[in-house]
């Protein structure tokens, strides 16, 4: 990915009829404003350990942009069982159709897809890729499939070995 784009801003002025195929590598600092939890300004975004990398095939038909590709990024996660921090991977395939529109243009009530604003003849797909990032985030991330979690009696991390609570502790398998 040596020639990967460092942004997902595309110009309609130079759009080829055959569409666009691109590889991208978006830095954690570029993505941070888009990845704040719940859109809250003061919320901390997830700790991305690598650039979000992927490839896209874009085809424009009228105002409909067809987006197809893949992405992946390494992130710091917290195990839902033992509460330890670990390195996980978030990634997925992308296959969607979205409408492009002038800034301020909106859909009627019956439309389901979001509107990607076009400003100055260009549009940015970063918010769309960040939406796919959050849709790919695991509901319950675990550090390893057989993670036994924490002892319900004393709270010890059972990955480190037995805690000494004996039969009182109920372990997960």
Q: How confident is the model at residue 165 (pLDDT cuts 50, 70, 90)?
A: confident
Q: Residue 97 is encoded by which pair of tokens?
A: 């159709």
Apex 136 CA angle, 132 and 142, nearest 5: 160
Give the separation between CA 11 and CA 16, rounded to whole angstroms.
10
In DSSP terms, 1 is beta-bridged to none
pLDDT tens digit string along 98-136?
999 865 555 554 454 557 889 899 999 999 999 999 999
Give the separation between CA 76 and CA 84, rounded to whole angstroms.
10
Cβ atoms 34, 126 nearer than 8 A: yes
């Amino acid at each position: 990915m040596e020639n990967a784009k460092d942004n997902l801003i595309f110009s309609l002025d130079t759009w080829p009829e055959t569409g666009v195929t691109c590889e991208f590598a978006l830095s954690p600092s570029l993505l941070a404003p888009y990845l704040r939890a719940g859109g809250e300004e003061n919320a901390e975004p997830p700790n991305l350990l690598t650039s979000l990398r992927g490839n896209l095939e874009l085809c424009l038909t009228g105002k409909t942009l067809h987006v197809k590709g893949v992405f992946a990024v390494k992130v710091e996660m917290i195990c839902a069982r033992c509460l330890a921090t670990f390195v996980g991977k978030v990634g997925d395939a992308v296959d969607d159709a979205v409408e492009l529109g002038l800034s301020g243009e909106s859909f009627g009530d019956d439309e389901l897809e979001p509107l990607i604003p076009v400003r100055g003849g260009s549009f940015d797909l970063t918010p769309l890729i960040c939406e796919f990032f959050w849709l790919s985030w695991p509901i319950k991330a675990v550090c390893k499939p057989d993670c036994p979690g924490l002892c319900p009696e004393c709270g010890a991390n059972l990955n480190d070995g037995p805690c000494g609570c004996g039969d009182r502790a109920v372990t997960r398998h």
